[in-house]
Amino acid sequence: MSHKVLVIEDEPTLARLLSYNLSQEGYETTVIDHGAEGLQTALGRSFDLIILDIMLPGMNGFEILTRLRQNGIRIPVIILTARNAEEEVVQGLKHGADDYITKPFGVAELLARVSAVLRRTQLDDAKPADTPEKVITAGDLFIYPEKYEVVLGGETVPLRPKEFEVLLYLVQRPGMVITRDDLMNVVWGFDYIGGQRTVDVHVSSLRKKLELGQQSVQIESIRGVGYKLVMPKKLVTPKG
C-alpha cells in the first residue's frame, strides 16, 4: 500500500512540483492550498505524512502544527521554509515539526527527506535496540544516508546538505563519469536557476573536507564533462 501524503502549499508551481515528484515515487498525494482547509483535511482524514508551507492564506503553518498536536495528531510533518529563515526552522521544530526543507530545494533532497521521515516514524518504536542503522562505507569513510551524516577517520565531517547529496550520489555510482548536468538536475532540481559553477564549488569544498582521510574516496575531474568518484576498495554496505 502506498503512503498517503498531504501537501499544504498555496504556490501553484511548487504544489505541482511536489505532487508530481511524490506521485512518481509511488506516493498518493492530496494538495490543499489554504491553511484552514488544510487543517480540517489533516484532522478528518488519515495520512502518513504532511508537507506544510509556513506562509499560507487563512492560517499559517505554525498554527496548523499547534492545532494538530493539541488534537493528538502525531502524523509526521515536514515544513517548507525560506532560505536562511533560521527562525522559521526553530519555530517549526518547537511547534512539533519532524523535519524541514529550505526553498528552493532539489528533487533528490525532497525525496530523501520524505523517505527518511517515513522510515524513521515506522521503525523507531518497533526497531530493537541493537538493530544497526544503514551505513555505506568506503575506506575510512562512513556515510549515514538517513541522518545526512558523514564520519571520516572517526571524526564527523561537517557537510552542508547539498555537499552530502553530491557525495552520496557519486558514492552510489563508483567509477562512473557523472556530468555536471546530472548532478545539477538530481541535487538541485530541474528548475534551479543557478549555473554549473554551483556544482564545481560544492565538489571543491567536498574534496577539501575529504583530504584528511588516508583511505577515503577521491573525486576526479573529467575535463569538459564532470566528475568520477574513485574508491579505495570495493564499496561495502553492511547487512542489516
pLDDT in tens, 6-38: 999 999 999 999 999 999 999 999 999 999 999
pLDDT exceeds cutoff 90 at 214: no
Sign of CA dihedral 70, 76, 79, 85: positive
What is the residue type of 202?
H
CA distances, 5 to each of 8, 18, 97, 117, 118 (Å): 10, 10, 15, 12, 10
- Judged by DSSP in three states, 122 sits in helix
pLDDT at 98: 82
* 240 band by pLDDT with thresholds 50, 70 and 90: very low
pLDDT at 44: 92
Residue, of 160 and 42, whose pLDDT is higher: 42
Place of cell 501524503: 5
Over pLDDT 70: what percentage of the chain? 86
pLDDT at 125: 47
pLDDT exceeds cutoff 50 at 103: yes
Tell me what percent of the chain is helix, strand and coil, each rounded to the nearest 5: 40, 20, 40
Q: Give mean pLDDT, residues 73-101.
A: 82
Half-sphere exposure of 225 (CA within 13 A, CB side): 9
Choose the weakest-confidence range: 91-95, 99-103, 197-201. 91-95
pLDDT at 161: 76
This prediction has a pTM of 0.55
Rounded to 5°, angle at Cα 89 from 33 and 8: 10
Distance CA 57, CA 35 (A): 6
**Closest listed residue to residue 1, CA positions, set 25, 21, 28, 19:** 28
Place of cell 582521510: 213
pLDDT exceeds cutoff 90 at 39: yes
